[in-house]
Structure 1
Amino acid sequence: MKNVLLIINAILVLAVAYLLYAHFTEKNHLITTVSNSYTAVPANGFKIAYFEMDSLQNQYVLLKEVRSALMAKDQEMGKELSGLENSLRNKYQDLQKNGNALSQAEIASRQQEIMDLDKNLKNKRQVMEQEMQDESFKKLQDVKKRIEDYLKEYNQSKGYAYIFSNVPDMMYYKDTAYNITADIVKGLNEQYRQKK
């Protein structure tokens, strides 16, 4: 019985040794094959960089101009809507103040006028909000496209595999050695001045 167990253990040890040998020989063959087929990746790995999105937003001249233009348009629309609201409010207050001196037909006519003004105000507000939203989206997409195009151009000489934007609360750790924000802002602003 002892001899049978000894023989089985010897066979198992030989089998495990063979499996380990086969496994590591095949793995080395796979590593050699994979490394030969992907020669574009440098031996030291790939490089990753990031830029601070809030700094870019505060320092990129085009983006500041776009935000200013959008805020000015929003204020202009707000003034127009405020004027319509004041007109509606004045008509309503006039009807309440002078309603006793008016006939039923005049009251009905003024109430209809107030309802029409209210409906026009709501429609105007909705149209303006949609227009503002569309213009904002279009202009911000244009800025985003310019940043992406610049990063492609910038990266031709740098060789980064990835360039991330660091949005607050999205990145948990970052080594400031890979922060390229200053380069990006400087380059984008120079490019914008040249095209302007």
Structure 2
Amino acid sequence: MKNFTIGLNIALVIAVAVLFYLQFSSGGNGKTNTQSGTKEVPQGNFKIAYFEIDSIEAHFSYYKEVSNSIQAKAQENGKQLNQLKEAFAAKYQELQRSAQGMTQAEVNSKQQELMQMEKTYNSKEQMMNNEMQDESMKKMLDVRQKISDYLKEYNANKGYAFIVANNSESLAFYYKDSAYDITADVIKGLNEKYKKKQ
């Protein structure tokens, strides 16, 4: 989730850099007229639209499905790890109870068994965490790609130079004109397109 937000923030920074480049490298358009002391402003309209990423997360059906499947997988992984913990705790308690009646060789054998169980738990936990991270990243990149693909279609006749994502954590925009907020249109279009594929 954070990777998705970071990716969107990077895209926003790139968009701002492109804006600066276009503004200041436009050949003769940006040169100062030394005779009158005024700067020539490039002609034409430049439109930017934004959507609220928090609203997409709350209302885009596919995003919610992906998020729910990630949470369900995390819960299943948690159950499996808890079962391993409980088995370890039971073996440990059994060793504590019966250690006095055992030979040193039997105690050592049980300790080795406990160490192997702990090693198995740690490697399984690491493997599950890595798998979850990879799966989450792939699924969130897929969500991002679906949004990007839809926005290309959406913008075919809108004429926006940039459509950026805004969230409550981002301070990149100090002012935004709500006339360009296309969040409701994006959610509606994404959900309609997603329903058609089902």
TM-score grouping bracket, smaller chain normalisation: 0.7 to 0.9
Deviation, structure 1 residue 175 = 1.8
Q: What are the within-5 Å matches in structure 2 for residues 20-169 of structure 1?
A: 23-24=34-35, 43=44, 45-169=45-169
Query: Per the alignment, in what secondary structure is the counterpart of residue 163 of structure 1?
Result: strand
CA distance in 2, matches of 1:46, 1:23: 27
Deviation, structure 1 residue 24 = 3.0
2:182 alignment partner in structure 1:
180
CA distance in 1, matches of 2:169, 2:73: 31
Query: Per the alignment, in what secondary structure is the counterpart of residue 62 of structure 2?
Result: helix
CA distance in 1, matches of 2:108, 2:169: 58
CA distance in 1, matches of 2:34, 2:143: 53
Query: Per the alignment, in what secondary structure is the counterpart of residue 49 of structure 2?
Result: strand
Question: Which residue identity does 2:176 align to in structure 1?
Answer: K
Question: Which residue identity does 1:191 align to in structure 2?
Answer: K
Deviation, structure 1 residue 173 = 2.2
CA distance in 2, matches of 1:94, 1:173: 65
Query: Per the alignment, in what secondary structure is the counterpart of residue 145 of structure 1?
Result: helix
**Per-residue Cα deviation, 1:113-142 (whole angstroms, up to 9, x for no partner):** 000000000000000000000000000000
Deviation, structure 1 residue 167 = 1.4
How does the TM-score come out when normalised to structure 2?
0.78
Deviation, structure 1 residue 169 = 3.2
Deviation, structure 1 residue 144 = 0.3
Deviation, structure 1 residue 23 = 3.0
CA distance in 1, matches of 2:179, 2:34: 40
Unaligned runs of 5+ in 1: 1-21, 36-41
More helix by share: 1
CA distance in 2, matches of 1:115, 1:186: 55
Deviation, structure 1 residue 178 = 1.1
Query: Per the alignment, in what secondary structure is the counterpart of residue 135 of structure 2?
Result: helix
Question: Which residue identity does 2:155 align to in structure 1?
Answer: N
Question: Which residue identity does 1:48 align to in structure 2?
Answer: I
How many residues end up aligned between the 2 structures? Answer: 164
Query: Per the alignment, in what secondary structure is the counterpart of residue 160 of structure 1?
Result: coil
How does the TM-score come out when normalised to structure 1?
0.79
**Per-residue Cα deviation, 1:81-139 (whole angstroms, up to 9, x for no partner):** 00000000110011011100111111000000000000000000000000000000000
Unaligned runs of 5+ in 2: 1-32
Question: Which residue identity does 1:181 align to in structure 2?
Answer: T
Q: Could you tell which deviates more after superposition, 176-185 or 162-171? A: 162-171
